[in-house]
Amino acid sequence: MSQAKQVLKQAHASMSQFGIDLLKFYRAIKGLPHYLKDYFEFKRQLNLSGNGFCMGRLYPLLQDRFEQAGAASGHYFHQDLLVAHRIFQNKPLKHVDVGSRVDGFVAHVASFRPIECFDLRRMKNGIPNITFKQVDLMSDDFGLCQYCDSVSSLHAIEHFGLGRYGDKIDAQGHLKGLNNIYKMLKAGGKFYFSVPIGPQRIEFNAHRVFSLKYLIGLLERRYKIDSFSYVDDSGQLFRDVRLSSGNITNNCSCSYGCGIFELTRI
């Protein structure tokens, strides 16, 4: 990504925090002439048709014509489908998720099996196949040892301890979270894990970005790495990639990619 694009991306992200979406504003301005042209033509046809409809309040949607048919790329799209499919194949007895997206991955899994969700924040229960528990995975008093044979945590650990979700500030939060996940997983159990990958850094208070060298150093002491996939900076998925020394050194050429691990607890 060029330096200019990076600056624009950062400006867009910063302005969005104050409710100003520069991309939406640009697309809305671009779509306004199309909207006005279509409106007057439709109203002309409606007046001639006599089909029983009248015009209600105006509800302009100025951007949709510039979008693709659907969002079939990106970190969440690929990781959610990939890991849900692996869980379907592996058929664990008890699967627990830690902090993954409910309206994506969790919903995928709940469509074919029960899933238990742990999160620092509250969520209303009453969703079929989903049991929710409010749990602090950074707690020093975490007591759920050998709790399940399958755990997922997708695009979540990078946030631990940065305060973004009301969690306490803790520079070692990601390590505490990973340690408690290890405790609750039975020997031989599966851990499905994803985080942003690239040159290692913290972009406070959004997330951490991990280097593959650092991640592998953390994981290989406790897990066998069954498979590694990643989503690159352009949002494309690469399945079952070999963790060669070159890929590890350059983080699969990612600046802000998504590394997806399937692990087995040793």
Domain boundaries, the chain: 3-66, 75-265
Query: Which range (95-99, 124-128, 177-181, 210-214) has the least confidence?
Result: 124-128
pLDDT at residue number 212 = 98
- Per-residue pLDDT of 26-68, as tens digits, reads 888 999 999 999 999 999 999 888 888 888 899 898 988 887 6
Which position has the token pair 């510039």? 66
Which position has the token pair 């640009």? 26
Provide mean pLDDT across the span 147-159. Answer: 98
- The candidate with the shortest Cα–Cα distance to 218, out of 191, 238, 239, is 191
Do residues 132 and 146 make contact, with C-beta atoms less than 8 angstroms apart?
no
Whether 114 has a pLDDT exceeding 60, the answer reads: yes
Continuous segment of H or E residues that includes residue 119: strand 115-119
Whether 80 has a pLDDT exceeding 80, the answer reads: yes
Which position has the token pair 């991306």? 9
Say how far apart CA 175 and CA 227 lie, in whole Å: 22
- Per-residue pLDDT of 159-209, as tens digits, reads 999 999 999 999 999 999 999 999 999 999 999 999 999 999 999 999 999
pTM listed for this prediction? 0.85
pLDDT at residue number 45 = 92
Task: State the helix-helix crossing angle for 3-16 and 22-49, rounded to 10 degrees.
Answer: 70
Strands 257-265 and 223-231 turn out to be antiparallel
Say how far apart CA 251 and CA 138 lie, in whole Å: 27
pLDDT at residue number 70 = 61
pLDDT at residue number 11 = 80
* DSSP annotation string for 169-237: P-TTHHHHHHHHHHHHEEEEEEEEEEEEESS-EEETTTEEEB-HHHHHHHHTTTEEEEEEEEE-TTS-E
Phi, then psi, of 100 in degrees rounded to 5: -75, 170
Q: How far is CA 105 from the centre of its chain?
A: 8
CATH topology of domain 75-265: Rossmann fold (3.40.50)
pLDDT at residue number 14 = 80
